[in-house]
Amino acid sequence: MSSEQILRTYKLTKSFGNLIAVNQVELEIHKEEIVGLIGPNGAGKTTFFNLITGLETPDEGQVIFKGINITAMSPHKICKLGMSRTFQVTRSFAGMSVEEAIRVGAYNRREEREVQKKVDWVIKFFELEDIRDYKCSDLGLASLRKVEVARAAATEPDLLLLDEVGAGLTTTELLRLMSELKRLNAETKITLCVVEHVMQMVMGLCERIFVLDAGELIAKGIPNEISNNQRVIEAYLGRRSYSESSSTG
């Protein structure tokens, strides 16, 4: 892991009407890291991803990616620079086959001549050989998730954002996915930022973790620190009411 920053946000803020979804969030991700972004439901994690990837424009703040200010850039330009993502609710190319979907991603960096090689490489890496001709609409959840990751990985990003790829998977499927992500990071040196609810995945995968609650960054650190952090525990479980203990006495 290098200490060079690949992504940095400054005072990132976004409101929808009266609701402040993301509130002055500042975090930094280093090259080749695997970081996690966690927080209770509605904490603003997906909005944060949308802000970084250009799908939403922030009201305030900046996003600096690889030293470039990408704050108001369009999503496809950001992808060309080297950032891609998956979606919480899978957005598959239903009518296309697995291979075709991956090919779309691969065209990001490859010309017509080399694109097939890249597609074959991605399929081999993610062990999708058996289903390469299957239509995306025919896939089960675990395969769909993998295809989404593979598709985004095919764009050859420097930073890959994964939005709840673990949701709904069985333990076995989860472990497989985790090992593939670890392998992806180790072999291709892609930086990963993972939004997750499944704690097993977060704790087992991430080197550092950021915690959002109600749009604010309330904690950051290594997994051990986070799991013992009082504020984090309160955010997930709710604050204990001290007046209660006196009424039982």
Partner 1 sequence: MNRKKNRNIENFLLLFFLIIALLVPLIFGSNQYKMLLVTTVLLYGVMATSWNIIGGLAGQLDLGSFAYLGLGAFTSSTLFIRFNFTPWLGMILGGLVAVGFALLIGIPLFRFRIREVWYALTTCALVEILKVVFTMWEEVGGPVERYLPYFRGSLYHMRFGSYVPYYYIILGMLLIALLVNSRIARSELGYYLKALGEDETAAEVLGVNTRACKLRALVYYSFLIGVTGAIYANIYGYVHPSFFNGQESIKIAILGIVGGRGITYGPLLAALLLVGAQEFLRASLGGEVSGLYLVIYSIILILVVLFRPKGIATLFQDGYQKLVAREVKKKSVV
Position among 87, 144, 210, 212 found at the interface with partner 1 (CB under 8 A): 87
Q: Which of 245, 242, 216, 244 is nearest to 231 (CA)?
A: 216
Cα–Cα distance list, 204 to 38, 169, 194, 198, 201 (Å): 14, 16, 12, 10, 5
Residue 88 touching partner 1 (CB under 8 A): no
Position among 23, 70, 73, 85 found at the interface with partner 1 (CB under 8 A): 85
Residue 68 touching partner 1 (CB under 8 A): no
Position among 95, 130, 179, 186 found at the interface with partner 1 (CB under 8 A): 95
Burial of 117 (0-12, 13-18, 19+ CB in 10 A): exposed
Q: 170, 177 in Cβ contact below 8 A? A: no
Question: 99-128: which residues touch partner 1 (CB under 8 A)?
Answer: 100-101, 103-105, 107-108, 112, 115
CA atoms within 13 A on the CB side of 215: 16
Least distance (Å) between residue 103 CB and partner 1: 6
Residue 134 touching partner 1 (CB under 8 A): no
Binding site for partner 1 (CB under 8 A): 53-55, 74-80, 84-85, 87, 91-96, 100-101, 103-105, 107-108, 112, 115, 133, 151-152, 155
